[in-house]
Amino acid sequence: MGKPTGFIEYLRELPVDRAPLERVRDWREFHHHMDEKRLRNQAARCMDCGVPFCHTGTLVSGMASGCPIHNLIPEWNDLLYRGLWREALERLLKTNNFPEFTGRVCPAPCEGSCVLGINAPPVAIKTIEAALAEKGWDQGWIAPQPPAERTGKKVVVIGSGPAGLACAAQLNRAGHTVTVLEREDRPGGLLMYGIPNMKLDKKEIVLRRIQLMEKEGVRFVCNAHVGENVEAQLLRKDFDAVVLCTGATQPRDLAAPNRKLKGVHFAMEYLTASTKALLDGGPDRSPIHAKGRNVVVIGGGDTGTDCVATAMRQGCASLKQIEILPRPPVERAEDNPWPEWPKVYKLDYGQEEAAAKFGADPRSYVTTVKRLNGDAEDGIRSVTTVQVAWRRGADGRLVPAEVPDSEQETPADLALLALGFTGPEQPLLAELGVRTDARSNIEAEHGAFATSVEGVFAAGDCRRGQSLVVWAIDEGRGAARECDRYLMGGTDLP
């Protein structure tokens, strides 16, 4: 630890964001950068806590506590405080293939379990991670490192999201010849089309990493939809191993009358169309556009926030977000102690933008949709909602119950369903013959990542269910390690 009194001397600081009403006029990233002196002061706040929980990567009460990829956070904080940027980056890259991604989009469970966070604001770990990554790119320290030798083994990775990219990077590092198949027109999966550009820039950040991996020898094949225009069983014959990293892309639907009205779309359909239009010639070319429309986002979470922010940039006339859960408290509740993930109220970037334009947080808590209402042309006209009260059922679980006389009607000519995902799409899994579990995810034990079919492995959301980018990276690395062991009889991959 470089400065024993740093956590006493320095307050927590974060980069200043661009003003909400300014940033909604473009699609550029909304964070500013911090200067070196302030970053080193933030690193100095990392204390000699004896047992650092920030890199434990465990589940507490069903939520991530600490970094799932076990980033060596106290070590690189100390190195940065002492001005040893390159050494700090080297420690970061030992555990994280893509710190430029996690430093932008990870919710930072490491900060939620920071020991300093017991009685003070935690260390700004995510900010420091992003700064180390960008320093590495700017200085040329992050550069192609192709393997010195090839093993002669061929592996195909299906899916190019964070799990697929991490798996491919590690297998390539081990000397295998890796091909990544992506069904979309660009690689990156969730990173490319599931997260908006203002949160994770596609050309400057995502494609930069893809291009580096190509220089290292990884081959990307787009428009390759396995099970449709690529035969899954042929892949097993042509490659020595297959790794499934397809994600959990089956959206959860809304069980409400008139669901099939025009103008009702799944969130990922909307976000994908928006990003494709932005990259293919202009944001106004999106086939699903919010300009001048009354938008209702149904569901919370990061995906709901991204829909809010996208609609704001498209120039929506009004915006409401419906959230079935209660509004979290401002500070940790007694039943949510450290080092659990802090379930506290947060005005995220999209809601901040909506509040700046329309005067208030757009979220309506403990509210659910009762029905969708159409017009004469079968387009959505409004959404009828009711408030709910959460009560314990006979099995002890909390269930929502409708509050009588609480109906409200909200104008809507665009409704976006951000209700999460139910699991991976099944046709490919059926064609390969891999077993699935009770939740329809691929059955493959964590740590082994081997499916019921020899030589076929699985990692990421298709195995564990909808989760964080950082968990996907951890799973991709783990599947690469076990795939390498399968191919070579042993492995040196971490």
Provide the residue-wise pLDDT of the chain in tens; the chain has 494 residues: 678 899 999 999 999 999 999 999 999 999 988 999 999 999 999 987 889 999 988 889 888 899 999 999 999 999 999 999 999 999 999 999 999 999 999 999 999 999 999 999 999 999 999 999 999 999 999 999 999 999 999 999 999 999 999 999 999 999 999 999 999 999 999 999 999 999 999 999 999 999 999 999 999 999 999 999 999 999 999 999 999 999 999 999 999 999 999 999 999 999 999 999 999 989 999 999 999 999 999 999 999 999 999 999 999 999 999 999 999 999 999 999 999 999 999 999 999 999 999 999 999 999 999 999 999 999 999 999 999 999 998 888 999 999 999 999 999 999 999 999 999 999 999 999 999 999 999 999 999 999 999 999 999 999 999 999 999 999 999 999 999 999 999 999 99
CATH for 6-139 (3.40.50.1580, 2.130.10.10, 3.40.1010.10, 1.10.1060.10): 1.10.1060.10
Do the domains spanning 154-249+422-488 and 254-419 agree at the CATH topology level?
A: yes
- Sequence ranges of the domains in the chain: 6-139, 154-249+422-488, 254-419
Residue 257 CB burial class (10 angstroms; 0-12, 13-18, ≥19): middle
Q: Rounded to an integer, what distance in angstroms lies between the CA atom of residue 11 and that of residue 122?
A: 10
Q: Which residues contact 451 (CB under 8 A, 6 or more apart)?
A: 244, 432, 434, 435, 442, 443, 444, 457, 458
Q: Rounded to an integer, what distance in angstroms lies between the CA atom of residue 476 and that of residue 480?
A: 6
Beta carbons within 10 angstroms of residue 459's beta carbon: 34
Beta carbons within 10 angstroms of residue 154's beta carbon: 15
Residue 152 CB burial class (10 angstroms; 0-12, 13-18, ≥19): exposed
Superfamily in which the 154-249+422-488 domain is placed by CATH = FAD/NAD(P)-binding domain (3.50.50.60)
What CATH class does 254-419 carry? alpha beta
Query: How much is the pLDDT for 3?
Result: 87
Tell me, yes or no, if the pTM score tops 0.85.
yes
